[in-house]
């Protein structure tokens, strides 16, 4: 699980062009949206694409995203339980 979290942080930084943020700057329980990393609605869509492209997970109901994308911790748990690749 720890390796997945590190991989996820690295991919998020790359995909979302978070220029001034390093893997070690992101804590597992930091909020990804709002006061945490400050991601926006387009970033949320990119995260949905990332789940599909990298882990073979298709989110059919966007409402699920709110809980899944709360933090690295929640994302990694969801990926570990649902990944198809």
Partner 1 sequence: MKANNYISNYCVIENNSVILNSGREFELQNGSFSEFAKAAYKNFNMEYPKFFKMDNLSKLAFLGSEIILKELVNQEENNNIALVFANRSSSLDTDVKYQNSIADKDNYFPSPAVFVYTLPNICIGEISIKYKLQSENAFFVFEEFNAGFITNYANLLLETNKAEKVLCGWVECYQENYKAVVYLVEKQGHTEHNEETVNTLYNK
User: Per CB under 8 A, which of residues 22..51 are in contact with partner 1?
Assistant: 38, 42-43, 45-46, 49
In sequence order, which residues have a C-beta less than 8 Å from that of residue 14 and are 6 or more positions away? none
> Does position 20 bind partner 1 by CB under 8 A?
yes
> Of the listed pieces 13-21, 28-36, 59-67, 72-80, which binds partner 1 according to CB under 8 A?
13-21
* Residues 42 and 81: beta-carbon distance below 8 Å: no
Number of residues that bind partner 1 (CB under 8 A): 13
* Residues 57 and 83: beta-carbon distance below 8 Å: yes
To partner 1, the closest distance from the beta carbon of 68 in angstroms equals 17
């Amino acid at each position: 699980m720890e390796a997945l979290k590190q991989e996820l942080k690295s991919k998020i930084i790359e995909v979302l062009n978070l220029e001034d943020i390093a893997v070690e700057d992101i804590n597992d329980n930091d909020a990804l949206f709002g006061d945490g990393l400050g991601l926006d609605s387009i970033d949320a869509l990119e995260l949905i694409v990332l789940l599909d492209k990298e882990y073979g997970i298709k989110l059919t109901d966007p409402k699920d995203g709110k809980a899944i994308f709360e933090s690295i911790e929640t994302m990694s748990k969801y990926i570990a339980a649902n990944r198809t690749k």
